[in-house]
Chain A
């Protein structure tokens, strides 16, 4: 019996092993690199959380954009494969978003003296996280046609990002400006970009696992239908 869905998973399965090994090695090496990076002059030790905090946002926004773009592809082409990609990406985006939302206040408590501040980055991150938790809720409890509904949530959520950022930014701001990243001293920049790469690979690993699960679920459904 031929099920097309499984075939499309083959190339992904072949690269999965190497990527998994590289990711594991990078995460094993990351603590050494972070420990050896210079101390930031005003924040000291607590600034080290930055090496995991910012990359988790990079990974989250990758997930958000993948979900938004594949949501649009699903909506206009009706391709169930695109829906599986979008929903897998959205779920992982929520996971990385939670990581960012946990590490952020820990850092903020030490460097700003408060757990939470309504500044532009935090507000935007929180809202995008909420929108994508909404996405998952819709998929779980939305019932019939929730794939399309969630695709619209992803598209609208993605389009919303600049507006939330802009309005929260004018409203109030306290966060280190985004422009701090390109101007990092190289001794800090090296470990930082290393961590970004490690998080992106982790994203890819989780995403492939999740997509594989979704593909197998679809294949199983197809087999059930054939039996009946």
Chain B
């Protein structure tokens, strides 16, 4: 029942997105612009410092994620569909999981594009040296970021100042995700990939996910009750 509702909400979001592709295209283009802006700031004489590609990748994911989160809920607000969604005789936490999976799906698509671009532009072929570990880092980081982000974006729907409040609240709280993601990725990008280090950061990311997904599921119901 729970999983079915979550999947239905996800399917609804995917169906809308497949038809309009509005959030997907804007998010992707924004992510690529981010990479370019950072490239102009950080590339010197055609070379980047050792850890820079990892940093650029994760910053682009975080920025694009914020944009996607805002747009996803703006659509619900604009169509006044969030009320209908919350009135549905379904556990609120299932609705949360559905919305969160939608954001995760969007970010995964963005990452599929971003990773090769970063690898290509910054000569960071090391990203593909340990594909499973790297994919794990990306997945765990994306889930943690989306869990906190979906909760805050949903709450902020009622607020007039939601556009500016979302990043203000989201970035300080998701700093552990950024640190762990960047450090884990940088460990893999070294000339001799440091797998133990990357695994340790992956462990931190997974524990962050467990704690914050639980917290979000626990608080979503009272938060969304008027």
Quick one: which of A134, A166, A168 contacts B169, CB cutoff 8 A?
A: A134
How many angstroms from the CA of A146 to the CA of B168 in the assembled complex? 14
Whether A131 pairs with B173 at a CB distance below 8 angstroms is yes
Whether B215 pairs with A159 at a CB distance below 8 angstroms is yes
Tally inter-chain residue pairs, CB-CB below 8 A: 87
Q: Does B152 contact A (CB under 8 A)?
A: yes
Chain B residues within 8 Å of A, Cβ to Cβ: 148, 151-152, 155-156, 158-161, 165, 168-169, 172-173, 175-176, 179-180, 183, 200, 204, 207-208, 211-212, 215, 219, 222-223, 226
Residue numbers in A under 8 Å from B165 (CB-CB): 134, 137-138, 141-142
Whether A152 pairs with B179 at a CB distance below 8 angstroms is no
How many angstroms from the CA of A145 to the CA of B204 in the assembled complex? 33
With CB as the reference atom, state the residue of chain A lying closest to B214. Answer: A159
> Shortest beta-carbon distance, B203 to chain A, in Å?
10
Q: Does A10 contact B (CB under 8 A)?
A: no
Whether A137 pairs with B168 at a CB distance below 8 angstroms is yes
Whether A152 pairs with B158 at a CB distance below 8 angstroms is no
What are 29 A-B pairs at a CB distance below 8 A?
A131-B169, A134-B169, A134-B172, A137-B165, A137-B168, A138-B169, A141-B161, A141-B165, A142-B156, A143-B161, A144-B158, A145-B155, A148-B223, A149-B155, A149-B159, A152-B219, A152-B223, A155-B219, A156-B173, A157-B172, A157-B173, A160-B172, A160-B175, A163-B207, A166-B176, A166-B204, A167-B179, A167-B204, A170-B204
Residue numbers in A under 8 Å from B200 (CB-CB): 170
> Shortest beta-carbon distance, B225 to chain A, in Å?
9
Enumerate the 10 nearest inter-chain pairs by beta-carbon distance, A residue then B residue, closest first: A163-B176, A167-B179, A130-B172, A131-B172, A167-B176, A143-B160, A145-B158, A75-B222, A142-B159, A141-B161
Do A152 and B173 form a contact, CB below 8 Å, given A159-B212, A171-B183?
A: no
Q: Does A164 contact B (CB under 8 A)?
A: yes
Residue numbers in B under 8 Å from A131 (CB-CB): 169, 172-173
Q: Which of B148, B212, B223 has its CB near the most chain A CB atoms (within 10 A)?
A: B223
**A3-25 near B? 1/0 per residue, CB < 8 Å:** 00000000000000000000000
Quick one: which of A149, A152, A160 contacts B176, CB cutoff 8 A?
A: A160
With CB as the reference atom, state the residue of chain B lying closest to A148. Answer: B223
Q: Does A76 contact B (CB under 8 A)?
A: yes
> Shortest beta-carbon distance, B210 to chain A, in Å?
11
With CB as the reference atom, state the residue of chain B lying closest to A135. Answer: B169
How many angstroms from the CA of A153 to the CA of B216 in the assembled complex? 11
How many angstroms from the CA of A127 to the CA of B212 in the assembled complex? 17
How many angstroms from the CA of A145 to the CA of B208 in the assembled complex? 27
Whether A127 pairs with B175 at a CB distance below 8 angstroms is yes
With CB as the reference atom, state the residue of chain B lying closest to A142. Answer: B159
> Shortest beta-carbon distance, B96 to chain A, in Å?
13
> Shortest beta-carbon distance, B140 to chain A, in Å?
13
Whether B223 pairs with A143 at a CB distance below 8 angstroms is no
Whether B173 pairs with A160 at a CB distance below 8 angstroms is yes
**A112-155 near B? 1/0 per residue, CB < 8 Å:** 00000000000000010011001001100111111011001101
Whether B169 pairs with A167 at a CB distance below 8 angstroms is no
Residue numbers in A under 8 Å from B148 (CB-CB): 156
> Shortest beta-carbon distance, B207 to chain A, in Å?
8
> Shortest beta-carbon distance, B180 to chain A, in Å?
5
Residue numbers in A under 8 Å from B223 (CB-CB): 75, 148-149, 152
Residue numbers in A under 8 Å from B212 (CB-CB): 156, 159
Whether A155 pairs with B215 at a CB distance below 8 angstroms is yes
Whether A146 pairs with B222 at a CB distance below 8 angstroms is no
